[in-house]
Amino acid sequence: MKKIARVLLKILSALLILIAITAFIIKDPSPDYLKNDLTDFDHLSITNLATENSKIGNFKSSVNFNQRNSNALEKEFYGQEIRIHDNPKLDRILIGVTNNLISRIEIWNKNELVEAKELGFMEKMTWGETLAMSVAFYDQTNTRYPGKSKITMRFYSGSGFFGDIGIINLDLSDYGNLNGEKEISLFAKTLDSEKVNQPKFTDLKVWKNFKSFG
C-alpha cells in the first residue's frame, strides 16, 4: 500500500512539474504596448503599433480589472471596446463582464445594437480583487482559419490556464471583412440606467499580429 502511495505521489509531482514548465514555456512575450496608469487613457490604434510578431490578422489585449463591490441594483457592463473601420455591418465590439456575474459581448453598428451574447460565469469571483480580462481576436486574413473571424474573452485570476472565472466567444465570420483599422479602448456602462459605478482598470497590454495559448 505504501509503495502504491509513493508511486502515486511521484506521478503527481511529475505532473505538477510538467504543468509549471509548460506554463513557463508558453508565457507571452513582452507586449507591443503597455500602459500601467489608465486614468487618462482614451484609445489606442492597434493597426499603427510597431511589432515583430508575424501572426497576421491576430491580436491579443489584456487589462487588469478591479471593482470594489456589486451593490448596484442596476445591471452594469465593463470591459474592452474594439472599433473596426470600413465594415458596413459593424463598427465596434464591446466585450467584458457584468456585475451580475455574466460574460457579455455586444456588436454595434452606427449606434444600434446588432447582436448581444451572454454566458454565466464558471466560477465565483471576489469583488475587490484585481482580476485579468484578456481578449483574443482574429480576422479573415489569419492563416490558421483563413476566411474566418472570431473574438474571445477570458476573465480570470492568477495566470496561466488556471483561475478562469468566465469565458465567452463569438464567431464574427458572417459580418464580412474585418481587416480594417482597429482601435481599442475601455468602457463601463449601465444596461438599464444612467449612472455607473466606475471600476479601476490598470496595466493595459496589447500584442499585434500575435496569437497565444491563453
d(CA 60, CA 27): 13
Side-chain-side CA neighbours of 184 within 13 Å: the count stands at 26
Is 30-208 assigned to CATH 1.10.274.10? no
Give the model's pLDDT for residue 19. Answer: 47
Cα 89 to Cα 45, 85, 114, 173, 175: the distances in Å are 20, 10, 9, 11, 6
Q: Under DSSP, is residue 19 helix (H, G, I), strand (E, B) or coil?
A: helix
Maximum distance among all Cα pairs of the chain, rounded to whole angstroms:
69
The structural domains of the chain, with segments of one domain joined by +, span 30-208
Query: Strands across the sheet with 33-37, in order?
Result: 33-37, 200-208, 58-66, 131-138, 150-156, 164-171
Give the model's pLDDT for residue 202. Answer: 97
Q: Is the pLDDT of residue 121 over 90?
A: yes
Q: Residue 90: what residue type?
A: L
Average pLDDT of the segment spanning 197-214: 89
**pLDDT tens-place string over residues 57-111:** 999 999 999 998 766 678 899 999 999 999 999 999 999 999 999 999 999 999 9
Give the model's pLDDT for residue 213. Answer: 56
